[in-house]
């Protein structure tokens, strides 16, 4: 389990425990308070608030186990949940202590926090809708900035109210009363509601009808209640209404999105399985060739990636080895990778030299490269009977070789241009003589460029150091040792790039 996921779970558990404790304390306070001096309408307000807190805590717990729990959209939804819970709790406390002189300060603090919840909830809902519609617009980014500072200003004014009492007051008898400027406290809510409604209407084609209804309901219902209660003091159901809408939002919007996320995850796992299936299997490709010991691995930064390796027999005495890295990541890179792998394999099976294979593959890929992607490739053909290696490099990482009586060293071969970059490119090839015990290590840039928590790169020096620490090990043991070293180095840092490796020992 990664540190980020563990921290998220701990944070979730902590918040839910806080919810549970606060609900318990609220019940205890209500029972201790008793019914003395309470007006009938207080019972309804307190009951709505208490029930709302229980519902909100259940929604929060459900969200925490949601497959999309760590998305930006869900994070804003959970912020809305927290604000709603705080609004319900502070409303509950303010009604419980209202009219009790000894609890005047508690009443003042509870109402101040209650008033602060309004601009916070409006802003978080705006951000929720903005992220749901995936809007990326310069004008909207300026609007978002204005709304953010407006929210901070509204919260600050509510804090000042505790001193100057221009929105509401709590007198010496502990009784709450609205002040003459109370309607002004609603201006931010009305402004954000209008702007959010405009965004929902503008983005309605991106949503299903029931999603639009719920979002509109979240804006309209609390606003309507706010207008009604502005005229009549005593009825406090705003956050009760918000709780109902939050429940509908979770049931209709977030659950639908979770189902889509599960479906997308299943499809990505299937895509990853298909991608892995096209890579060569050692026991099928070269297991009967005693002249070599060969092992390879590919670790994708995402479910699927653009790296690939390949090795196959061109004929009974010639082994073709390929290491490649597509310029992009994810699904587009995976699709391009499949095309590049198939093209390289097809030309290699004609018996052409490495330079010709790369040239012909480049021409074929450039003709249909509408995605304008490219791939770096190292390709070598090893003659098993003699140990003669003929290789060419199309912009790929330098290979690393070890002579039987030496150490692993970076071999700075001549780089050609990348495959798919432009037509008419030729490639230079070179030859090497493998003696029994010679080893070769190929890799993609995701290995050397793996970074730790302080953004330090693993680097080629560490790569060669690890290789030399395990120079007498088998190909598989060397690969596994390298993977462990990288894992120990990066710790919990998420991988930025795919990491693919291949190790070959020529036994003669």
**Residue 484 and residue 498: Cα distance in Å, rounded?**
15
**Residue 398 and residue 378: Cα distance in Å, rounded?**
9
As a whole number, mean pLDDT of residues 371-379 equals: 90
Structure tokens at 79: 């912020």
Residue pLDDT, tens place only, 292-321: 899 998 887 666 667 888 999 999 899 999
Handedness of CA 491, 494, 497, 500 (dihedral sign): positive
For residue 141, the model assigns a pLDDT of 83
pLDDT of 93 above 70? yes
The vertex-428 CA angle with 423 and 432, nearest 5°, equals 150
For residue 62, the model assigns a pLDDT of 77
**Residue 56 and residue 152: Cα distance in Å, rounded?**
25
Domains observed in the chain? 3-260 (1.20.1070), 284-506 (3.60.40.10)
Contact assessment for residue 351 and residue 369, using Cβ atoms and an 8 Å cutoff: no
As a whole number, mean pLDDT of residues 346-355 equals: 94
For residue 440, the model assigns a pLDDT of 96
pLDDT of 231 above 60? no
For residue 31, the model assigns a pLDDT of 81
Better pLDDT: 252 or 31 = 31
As a whole number, mean pLDDT of residues 437-445 equals: 93
pLDDT of 322 above 90? yes
The vertex-237 CA angle with 231 and 243, nearest 5°, equals 140
As a whole number, mean pLDDT of residues 467-490 equals: 91
pLDDT of 227 above 70? no
For residue 2, the model assigns a pLDDT of 47
pLDDT of 219 above 50? yes
Contact assessment for residue 204 and residue 135, using Cβ atoms and an 8 Å cutoff: no
Residue pLDDT, tens place only, 387-401: 999 999 999 999 999
Contact assessment for residue 394 and residue 418, using Cβ atoms and an 8 Å cutoff: yes
Q: Which residue has the tokens 């840039």?
A: 445
Instruction: State pTM to two decimals.
Output: 0.57
pLDDT of 3 above 60? no
Neighbour order of strands in the sheet with 292-299: 292-299, 499-506, 438-443, 400-402, 408-410
As a whole number, mean pLDDT of residues 277-284 equals: 68
Question: Among 97-106, 136-145, 369-378, where is mean pLDDT lowest?
Answer: 136-145
Residue pLDDT, tens place only, 48-87: 888 888 888 888 877 776 655 567 778 888 888 899 899 8
**Residue 488 and residue 383: Cα distance in Å, rounded?**
37
pLDDT of 274 above 70? no
For residue 235, the model assigns a pLDDT of 57
For residue 246, the model assigns a pLDDT of 73
Three-state SS annotation for 158-175? HHHHHHHCCCEEECCCCC
Q: 120 pLDDT band (50/70/90 cuts)?
A: very high
Q: What is the DSSP letter of 253?
A: I
pLDDT of 4 above 70? no
For residue 1, the model assigns a pLDDT of 40
Contact assessment for residue 302 and residue 330, using Cβ atoms and an 8 Å cutoff: yes
For residue 136, the model assigns a pLDDT of 67
For residue 490, the model assigns a pLDDT of 85
Q: Minimal CA–CA distance to 299: which of 275, 270, 267?
A: 275
As a whole number, mean pLDDT of residues 445-451 equals: 87
For residue 234, the model assigns a pLDDT of 57
């Amino acid at each position: 389990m990664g540190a980020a996921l563990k921290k998220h779970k701990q944070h979730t558990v902590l918040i839910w425990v806080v919810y549970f404790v606060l609900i318990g304390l609220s019940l205890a306070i209500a029972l201790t308070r008793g019914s003395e001096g309470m007006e009938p309408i207080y019972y309804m307000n307190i009951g709505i608030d208490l029930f709302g807190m229980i519902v909100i805590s259940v929604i929060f717990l459900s969200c925490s186990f949601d497959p999309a729990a760590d998305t930006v959209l869900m994070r804003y939804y959970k912020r809305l949940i927290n604000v709603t819970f705080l609004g319900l709790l502070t409303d509950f406390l303010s009604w419980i202590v209202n009219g009790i002189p000894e609890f005047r300060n508690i009443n003042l603090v509870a109402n101040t926090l209650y008033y602060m919840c309004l601009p916070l909830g409006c802003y978080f809902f705006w951000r929720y809708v903005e992220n749901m519609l995936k809007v990326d617009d310069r004008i909207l980014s300026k609007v978002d900035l204005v709304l953010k500072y407006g929210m901070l200003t509204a919260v600050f004014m509510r804090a000042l109210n505790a001193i100057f009492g221009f929105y509401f007051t709590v007198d010496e008898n502990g009784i709450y009363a609205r002040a003459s400027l109370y309607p002004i406290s609603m201006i931010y809510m009305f402004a954000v509601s209008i702007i959010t409604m405009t965004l929902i209407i503008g983005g309605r084609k991106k949503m299903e009808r029931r999603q639009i209804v719920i979002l509109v309901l979240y804006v309209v219902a609390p606003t309507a209640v706010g207008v009604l209660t502005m005229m009549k003091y005593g009825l406090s159901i705003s956050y009760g209404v918000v709780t109902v809408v939050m429940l509908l939002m979770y049931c209709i919007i977030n659950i639908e999105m979770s189902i889509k996320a599960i479906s997308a995850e299943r499809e990505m796992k299937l895509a990853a399985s298909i991608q892995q299936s096209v890579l060569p299997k050692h026991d099928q490709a070269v297991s009967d060739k005693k002249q070599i010991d060969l092992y390879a691995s590919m670790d994708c930064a995402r479910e699927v990636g653009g790296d690939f390796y390949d090795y196959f027999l061109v004929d009974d005495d010639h082994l073709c080895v390929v290491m490649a890295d597509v310029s992009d990541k994810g699904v587009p890179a995976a699709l391009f990778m499949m095309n590049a792998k198939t093209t390289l394999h097809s030309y290699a099976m004609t018996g052409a030299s490495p330079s010709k294979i790369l040239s012909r593959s480049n021409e074929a890929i450039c003709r249909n490269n509408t995605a304008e992607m490219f791939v770096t490739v190292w390709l070598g053909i090893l003659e098993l009977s003699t140990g003669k290696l003929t290789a060419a490099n199309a912009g790929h990482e330098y290979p690393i070789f070890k002579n039987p009586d030496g150490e692993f060293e970076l071999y700075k071969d001549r780089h050609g241009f990348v495959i798919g970059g432009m037509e008419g490119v030729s490639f230079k090839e070179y030859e090497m003589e493998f003696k029994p015990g010679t080893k070769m290590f190929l890799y993609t840039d995701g290995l050397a460029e793996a970074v730790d928590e302080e953004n330090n790169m693993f680097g080629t020096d560490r790569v060669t150091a690890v290789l030399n620490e395990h120079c007498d090990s088998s190909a598989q043991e060397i690969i596994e040792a390298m993977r462990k070293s990288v894992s120990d180095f990066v710790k919990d840092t998420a991988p930025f790039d795919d990491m693919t490796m291949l190790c070959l020992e020529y036994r003669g």
